[in-house]
Amino acid sequence: MAIASGLLLKKMENKTCKDRVKGALKSRMEDLRTLNEADNFETEELGNLGDYGLCIDFVPEGTFDNPREPYARYQISYGGPSEEFRIYGNGDVEFWFLDWFDGGGELLDGDDAALIKEIVFQGESWDSWTAQRREEAKE
């Protein structure tokens, strides 16, 4: 089994985040749809939808070297690799797969984008959600 694990690891080392992002997105969306449709938003295997990711936060402009604009972040995992959903003020929803100086993103649409917005905003609008987060940041 150690040889098989080593071969899988070696195969992944040769892939960029752009090569891996679609598979990661598919897996995360399957989990989130399962949790969203489950009784009490919970399954034995995945736990509770409210505990699925690490955090939901606001990333203001100027936080990183080149943010295109502020965004709401639903961070699923951190480290190598990291996975997160980003929601922008224009309504775009992206999934990002990031791993040590490399990254790949995919634009979501339709039901997938709507589900992420519902999880993050819970019925609030972009304007009210971001205004509240900006106020919290001042405190």
pLDDT score, position 8: 44
Contact predicate 118/72, CB 8 Å: no
Average pLDDT estimate for 96-116: 92
Structure tokens at 66: 């080149």
* pTM tops 0.75: yes
Contact predicate 134/60, CB 8 Å: yes
Q: What residues form DSSP beta bridges with 74?
A: 56, 85
Q: What percent of the chain has pLDDT over 70?
A: 87
Per-domain residue ranges of the chain:
16-138
The SS3 call for residue 73 is: strand
How many CB atoms within 10 Å of residue 25?
21
Express each pLDDT in 44-78 by its tens digit: 999 999 999 999 999 987 777 666 789 999 999 99
C-alpha to C-alpha distance for 139 and 89, rounded to whole angstroms: 23
Average pLDDT estimate for 88-102: 90
